[in-house]
Amino acid sequence: MVKHILLVDDEDAIAYVFKRYLERAGFQVTAVLDPAEALAIGSAGGIDMLVTDFRMPGITGATLIGRLREHTPALPALIVTAYGAEVGVAEAGVRVLNKPLSPQELVDAVVLALDER
């Protein structure tokens, strides 16, 4: 069964590149630039994992994870950020990767998070 990844990054170029990495690895990917749109999609269900930026307008990736976990408590999540020091201690089931990263690092982190679930 193909896993559905919700990808959230307010930078269009990064969202596009990460989406391509994950699709090439065989995942179904819904990429959005707006965290509010991500909340609507994630709250409706049907996603297997969240990959999010940390710094976004109006909301952090950590807050987005918390809000989506109100609907799906065991939702695996990955924060990909250039500001890893700002994230602090991540919740259980959340891994933090620092930008820049290789396509294989992203794919490996997603596979690992889904396997741990």
As a whole number of angstroms, the distance between CA 100 and CA 82 comes to: 7
State the chain's mean pLDDT as an integer: 91
Our CA angle for 74, 71, 104, nearest 5°, is 45
Give the Cα separation of 91 and 70 in Å (integer): 14
Domain that holds residue 20: 4-116
pLDDT at 94: 87
pLDDT level of residue 112 (50, 70, 90 thresholds): very high
Average pLDDT over every residue of 16-28 = 97
More confident residue, 82 or 28: 28
- pLDDT score for 93: 73
pLDDT band at 90 (very low <50, low <70, confident <90, very high): low
Cβ-count burial 41-61 (b if 16+ within 10 Å, e if not): bbeeeebbbbbbbbebeebbb
pLDDT at res. 86? 67
Whole-number pLDDT of residue 88:
61
> In this structure, how many other beta carbons lie within 10 angstroms of the beta carbon of residue 23?
13
**How far is Cα 17 from Cα 66, in angstroms, rounded to an integer?**
25
Q: pLDDT per residue over 35-46, tens digit each?
A: 999 999 999 989
Report the domain count for the chain. Answer: 1
pLDDT at residue 27 greater than cutoff 90: yes
* Distant-in-sequence, close-in-space partners of 37: CB < 8 Å, separation ≥ 6: none
52-74 residue pLDDT tens: 999 999 999 999 999 999 999 99
Higher pLDDT, 85 or 116: 116
CATH number at residue 33: 3.40.50.2300
